[in-house]
Amino acid sequence: MVRAVTSHREGHPEPSGPGSASSSRWSGLLRIARPRHWVKNLLVFAAPAAAGVLSHGTVAAHATGAFGVFCLAASGTYFINDTLDVEADRHHPVKRRRPVAAGTVPAPLAGIVGSVLMAGAVGLAWWLAGSHLALVIAVYVAVNVAYSVRLKHEPVVDLACVSTGFVLRAIAGGVATGVPLSDWFIIVSSFGALLIVTGKRSAEQGDLGELGGVHRRTLSEYPEAFLRSVRLLAAAVTVSAYCLWAFERSVQSGRGHHPIWFELSIVPFVIAILHVELRFARGHGGAPEEMALQDRTLQVLGIIWVALVAIGIYS
């Protein structure tokens, strides 16, 4: 009785009654959908923005539709992942609070909701932009389900699978809006994604220590030096490819005015890559979406970079 009174006075009463249980379940379903992770889906705007056509009404509408479709697809894969990872999540100091692992949302319900969201995303993609966008979404769903079922336990392959998710987002933007994707765009997207994913693994390895292998088998198979080498390789290729794209774009758009804006955009881009790598080297970056939403230095660099590229494209 004393504990119950104390709990109530501290503002943490146990939920009781069907209304409280239903509210808790709906809240749990929303948490599984991970709305904060939808910031990753902004990559669908990259291709049309780089091509200078995002200001066109139809293009902007299709890009926004692709963003919404990817939010559905990504949330669907999170439901499936949490359903399959329920036991592993219970060994994680943070992920054990996830609704399925905590028992707030039953695993069968999460699996059903995830399947409906993924199927709905493929159908909406077909309706929005035809079979090509539907194929991109279907490949994204298939890769993520295969990752959750098996591929997450395969060293290197797990890095490739997660990186593929970022690249498919960028490709989806081009497919939905009819914008051709340059080779440099694909290379920057691919190796930039690899940098982020490898940095995430490095941070997880540092945070979990000996428990890393229990939660994610591959963490115990990655030497720290290997992850550091992959990060440096990915950063070097990303910067090199972006520089080549910027110089190439300057030549293409240099008729009639000085094409300095694309070249200047290299400066904040490289500084941002170095800043991100410094965060990873210090053991941070386990949640890239949080870094994007909370790191003020990275946000300022991003705004400067966007402004320079936008001036170069639309001036």
CB-based contact 158:151 (threshold 8 Å): yes
Looking at residue 7, what is its pLDDT?
40
Helices then strands, counting H and E runs in the chain, come out as 16, 0
Q: Is residue 202 part of a domain?
A: yes
CB-based contact 211:91 (threshold 8 Å): yes
Q: Is residue 315 part of a domain?
A: yes
Same domain assignment for residues 140 and 260: no
Looking at residue 290, what is its pLDDT?
80
Question: Which is nearest to 269 in space by CA: 294, 293, 244, 233?
Answer: 244
Looking at residue 12, what is its pLDDT?
41
- Global pTM reads 0.81
CB-based contact 71:117 (threshold 8 Å): no
Q: Is residue 77 part of a domain?
A: yes
Tokens of 169: 């987002």
Q: What is the CATH number of the domain that holds 152?
A: 1.10.357.140
Same domain assignment for residues 204 and 172: no
Same domain assignment for residues 201 and 161: no
> Among 117, 149, 180, which residue terminates a domain?
180
Q: What's 137-179 look like in SS3?
A: HHHHHHHHHHHHHCHHHCCCHHHHHHHHHHHHHHHHHHHHHCC
Q: b/e for 244-256, b at 16 or more Cβ within 10 A?
A: ebbeebbeebeee
Looking at residue 277, what is its pLDDT?
93
Q: What are the two backbone dihedrals, phi and then psi, of residue 13, each rounded to the nearest 5 degrees? A: -70, 150
Same domain assignment for residues 173 and 30: yes
Same domain assignment for residues 163 and 188: no
Q: Is residue 13 part of a domain?
A: no
Q: Is residue 9 part of a domain?
A: no
Same domain assignment for residues 245 and 201: yes
What is the DSSP secondary-structure string of 275-300? HHHHHHHTT--SSHHHHHHH-HHHHH
Same domain assignment for residues 173 and 187: no
CA distance to 27, 298, 310, per residue, from 289 (Å): 21, 12, 23
Q: What are the two backbone dihedrals, phi and then psi, of residue 258, each rounded to the nearest 5 degrees? A: -75, 120
Q: Is residue 18 part of a domain?
A: no
What is the DSSP secondary-structure string of 59-104? HHHHHHHHHHHHHHHHHHHHHHHHHHTHHHHTTSTTGGGSHHHHTS
Same domain assignment for residues 35 and 60: yes
Q: Is residue 11 part of a domain?
A: no
Q: Which helix (H) or strand (E) holds 46?
A: helix 46-51
Question: Which is nearest to 162 in space by CA: 177, 141, 147, 179?
Answer: 147
> Among 120, 153, 180, which residue terminates a domain?
180
Q: Give the structural domain span for 146.
A: 24-180
> Among 164, 180, 196, which residue terminates a domain?
180
Same domain assignment for residues 211 and 146: no
Token pair 């890769």 in the structure block, residue: 143
CB-based contact 249:308 (threshold 8 Å): no
Same domain assignment for residues 173 and 188: no
Q: What's the number of domains the chain is made of?
A: 2
CB-based contact 105:32 (threshold 8 Å): yes
Q: Is residue 74 part of a domain?
A: yes
Same domain assignment for residues 168 and 33: yes
Print pLDDT tens along the chain (315 aa). Answer: 334 434 433 344 444 555 556 677 788 888 888 888 888 898 899 888 877 787 777 888 999 999 999 999 999 999 998 888 887 777 777 777 888 888 788 888 989 999 999 999 999 999 988 889 999 999 999 999 999 888 888 899 999 998 999 899 999 988 998 888 888 888 999 999 999 999 988 888 777 666 555 556 777 788 889 999 999 999 999 999 999 988 887 776 655 555 688 899 999 999 999 999 999 988 887 777 788 888 899 999 999 999 998 888 876
Report how far residue 87's alpha carbon sits from residue 176's, in angstroms, rounded to the nearest whole number.
38
Same domain assignment for residues 90 and 74: yes
Tokens of 4: 């119950």
Looking at residue 9, what is its pLDDT?
39
